Amino acid sequence: MTLNRAIPRAAVLAFAVSAALGTVPATAADQSVKTPNPKFEALDKNSDGFITRDEVAGTRWYDKAFDQADENRDGRLDQTEFVKAEAIQDRTSAGNYASDTYIKGKVKTKLLATRGLKSRDLDIEVLGGEVMLSGFIRDEQQRSKAIQVASSVKGVTSVKDGMVVR
């Protein structure tokens, strides 16, 4: 007889628990409300909750990252896709930095190893494979030689001349 009384009590308890769970607010992961992202909001010029190509026009890195992050291919990024785009950009930047650092070392080594070229007074900056040579050089022949040597390094896309003859 106690078993028969226990079953209705269990059913009532189960009903009460399920009703209570139905009114429990969703967890943070389930909520559709997004945490504000100041960078996203600054780029979302029309405040529609999406970033379009027009809104990021002129921002260098967004081209490739935008395409990769736009998962639904609707031509705009929501906040989730924007976070993905930023992660893609961070990885790209890290890779570019490592590549540019490698190129800088190779150019410096090759300039120092070139006979007749006084390259200790030259500064080398590299951004995206583009090399900028600056500093003091003895004459025009030294300038031409430095540009030629820097241009011959694998990975160098162009050489800009900021050297001064002294």
Question: What integer pLDDT is reported at residue 59 of this predicted model?
Answer: 73
128 within a domain of the structure (yes/no): yes
Question: What integer pLDDT is reported at residue 128 of this predicted model?
Answer: 85
Question: What integer pLDDT is reported at residue 17 of this predicted model?
Answer: 47
Question: What integer pLDDT is reported at residue 8 of this predicted model?
Answer: 58
Between the CA of residue 11 and those of 4, 14, 161, what are the distances in Å? 11, 5, 84
21 within a domain of the structure (yes/no): no
Work out the burial of residue 53: count CB atoms within 10 Å of its CB; fewer than 13 is exposed, 13-18 middle, 19 or more buried: middle
| pLDDT, block means (10 residues), the chain with 166 residues | 51 50 46 71 91 82 82 92 88 83 95 89 91 94 95 95 92
Question: What integer pLDDT is reported at residue 166 of this predicted model?
Answer: 86
116 within a domain of the structure (yes/no): yes
Residue written as token pair 């106690």: 2
60 within a domain of the structure (yes/no): no
Structural domains of the chain, count: 1
User: Which residue range(s) make up the domain with 144?
Assistant: 96-165
63 within a domain of the structure (yes/no): no
149 within a domain of the structure (yes/no): yes
108 within a domain of the structure (yes/no): yes
Token pair belonging to 99: 């590549």
131 within a domain of the structure (yes/no): yes
Question: What integer pLDDT is reported at residue 112 of this predicted model?
Answer: 93
* Closest C-alpha among 102, 129, 164, 53 to residue 146: 164
Decide if 144 contacts 117 (C-beta within 8 A). Answer: no
Q: Tell me the DSSP string of 111-151.
A: HHHSTT---TTEEEEEETTEEEEEEEESSHHHHHHHHHHHH
Give the CATH number for residue 137: 3.30.1340.30
